[in-house]
Amino acid sequence: MSTNAILVLNSGSSSLKFGVYSAATGDPQPTYRGEIEGIGGGEGKIWLKDADGKTIEAESRTFAQQSDAAKAVAENLSKLKLPELSGIGHRVVHGGPKLTTHQRITPGVLKTLEAAAHFAPLHVPAAIALIREMEKLYPGVPQFACFDTAFHTTMPEAASRLPLPKKYWDAGIRKYGFHGLSCESIVHQLRDHLPKHLIVAHLGNGASITAIIDGKSVDTTMGLTPTGGIIMGTRPGDLDPGVLLYLLRNDGDNLDTLERTLDKQSGLLGISGTASDMRKLHEAADKGDTQAQLAIEMFARTAAKAIGGFIATIGGLDTLVFTGGIGEHDAAVRAKICSGMEIFGLQLDESANRKNATEIAAHDSAISVQVIETDEDAQIARHVMRLLGEARPVAR
């Protein structure tokens, strides 16, 4: 039996990226890609493009919840001449301590995932709602969960263990790491010339730095949840635990308000007081907004500290990769992050950096610095194709 088409769904807290991949032969290739934005907000929008980038659908609509977005995806795909779906792949941010490998979604897996929803409350409940709706829309089509944490299961205990009593480690309280599918995508794209020592800086509204040796994660900045690590759009990254105790004791915060502060009101937004979007911060900074300038400076500083620390941890660096929305498009932030790394022999080519070239290191740099577009969705399609193949009986 041949694999016909794979539907990939990449859900966020208020968005849903989707794509249809042809998997007849070789590496899965996208035939259609789209996105729904503004889920749960007053006004959202949906767009769908074919493999050539031609817009097939683009309209503003209201999407109250993920199930409405799922119905819109199915509605749009029903208008196309698609081969029969062989499988549906979901990006799932966190599976907790029991779900750490990419796998088919069974009733048992879904139940375990529901029990782990508190690990990533912004993302996992939305993914669960999407999975359940897809069960109704495409009955009988197997669904697969691809976990962002799976790539980081190779981290040694010295990297993944938190400095807490052992009972918490035994209970699954540890560093899991995220953006794993993005890191897998970068490793896949570098597979013909994979450097031994690699650092991936996935910089977007969510941001993390990952140290990789021989294609395997050995350390990363995000921890138990996607709130930790370096500064992000609305998340603070790592904080002195005493700060949390202070807020709970002295600011009258309860757990719900503290969670909202940490997930939606901190990071670049909290520092600047105006925006979490790096593009808007640059505009404000250029007009003399000192808080916007500070937010950009702090973001670059925390990323540079992580990269420098990982260089020491893994014993050197062959290639630094920038990816994600900021990593791929923001030359000024990349330059700020790299400005103190001459000590490691890293030299940027200013012209190449401004052009967002693939290689932005100077010709005499001891370290390669590359800008690579991440493709989590294609990576999900690869996993689904592999898992479908493993599930088929061997011909005799």
Q: Report the run of H or E that residue 310 belongs to, with start and end.
A: helix 290-314
Where does 139-286 have alpha helices with state H? 157-160, 166-170, 180-189, 241-250, 255-264, 267-272, 278-286
DSSP string of 265-306, one letter each residue? SSHHHHHHSS-S-HHHHHHHHHTT-HHHHHHHHHHHHHHHHH
Cβ of 220: how many Cβ atoms within 10 Å?
29
What Cα–Cα distance (Å) separates residue 101 from each residue in 78, 144, 214, 235, 326? Answer: 31, 11, 19, 26, 28
Q: Report the run of H or E that residue 90 belongs to, with start and end.
A: strand 85-92
What Cα–Cα distance (Å) separates residue 51 from each residue in 90, 175, 324? Answer: 21, 38, 21
Our answer to whether residue 289 is catalytic in this structure is no
DSSP string of 249-264, one letter each residue? HHS---HHHHHHHHHH
State both tokens at 126: 């939305």
Candidates 186, 194, 105, 99; CA nearest to 378 is: 186
> Pick the catalytic residue: 27, 50, 52, 148?
148
Let me know: does 390 contact 37? Beta carbons within 8 Å: no
Using CA of residue 246, residue 219, residue 172, residue 232, what is the dihedral sign?
Answer: positive
Q: What does the CA dihedral 27, 105, 227, 149 come to, rounded to 10 degrees? A: -50
State both tokens at 64: 């109250």
Question: Which residue has tokens 């995932």?
Answer: 113
Cite the active site residues: 148
